[in-house]
C-alpha cells in the first residue's frame, strides 16, 4: 500500500490533542516536548524525516495538517537536488512541491515500511487513527 501525495501523508500523520491523550485524559509526553511524525520510507527503501512544528524549520511553525515547507532530516543520502541545501543532517524549509518530487522519484511512500498503520500514540485510540488513515488513503 502506498501514499502518492505528500499532502495525504501529512494529513494521515496529523494528530489532534484528543488523539494524544491516554484513557485517563492525561497528555502523553512527546519527543522533546514536540510531536514527531514517523519517518517516511519509500518503496525503494529511501527514507527521511519530514517534520513541521514549533521546533522545526517549517512553514507554518506549528503542528498542523497543511504546510508550505517542512524540515527534512537524516535522508538515506543527499543525492536528490531538492535536499542539496543541508548541513549534513537536515534541510530547512523544503517546499512541499520539492518533497513531492523526491517521493515520486523514489516510488512513493510505502505505508507498511513507514509504520503509519502501527502508530501507537494511544492504544485506546489506535483503531480510530487506523480508520482515519484508511479513509484518507482510500483503502
In a domain, 121, yes or no: yes
In a domain, 136, yes or no: no
In a domain, 139, yes or no: no
The per-residue pLDDT string of the chain (139 residues; one tens digit each, 9 = 90 and over) reads 899 999 999 988 887 655 655 556 555 555 444 677 889 999 999 999 999 988 899 999 988 889 999 999 999 998 899 998 888 899 999 999 999 999 999 999 998 888 776 554 444 445 555 666 666 666 5
Name the residue among 34, 3, 20, 23 with its Cα closest to residue 117: 3
Cα dist from 93 to 9, 96, 126, whole Å: 17, 9, 31
Looking at residue 131, its pLDDT comes to 63
Q: How many residues does the chain have?
A: 139
Domain span holding position 65? 2-129
Neighbours of 61 (CB within 10 A): 15
Number of domains in the chain: 1
- Residue 2 to residue 4: CA distance in whole angstroms: 6
Predicted TM-score (pTM) of the model is 0.78
- Residue 74 to residue 85: CA distance in whole angstroms: 13
In a domain, 137, yes or no: no
Residue in this structure with the C-alpha cell 517521493, named with its chain if needed: 103
In a domain, 95, yes or no: yes
Amino acid at each position: 500500500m502506498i501514499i502518492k501525495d505528500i499532502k495525504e501523508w501529512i494529513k494521515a500523520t496529523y494528530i489532534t490533542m484528543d488523539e494524544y491523550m491516554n484513557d485517563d485524559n492525561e497528555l502523553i509526553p512527546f519527543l522533546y516536548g514536540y510531536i514527531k511524525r514517523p519517518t517516511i520510507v519509500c518503496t525503494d527503501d529511501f527514507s527521511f524525516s519530514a517534520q513541521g512544528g514549533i521546533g522545526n524549520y517549517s512553514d507554518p511553525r506549528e503542528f498542523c495538517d497543511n504546510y508550505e515547507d517542512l524540515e527534512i532530516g537524516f535522508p538515506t543520502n543527499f543525492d536528490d537536488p531538492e535536499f542539496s541545501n543541508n548541513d549534513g543532517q537536515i534541510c530547512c524549509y523544503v517546499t512541499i512541491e520539492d518533497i513531492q518530487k523526491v517521493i515520486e522519484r523514489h516510488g512513493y511512500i510505502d505505508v507498511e515500511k513507514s509504520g503509519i498503520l502501527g502508530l501507537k500514540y494511544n492504544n485506546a485510540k489506535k483503531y480510530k487513527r487506523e480508520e482515519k488513515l484508511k479513509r484518507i488513503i482510500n483503502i
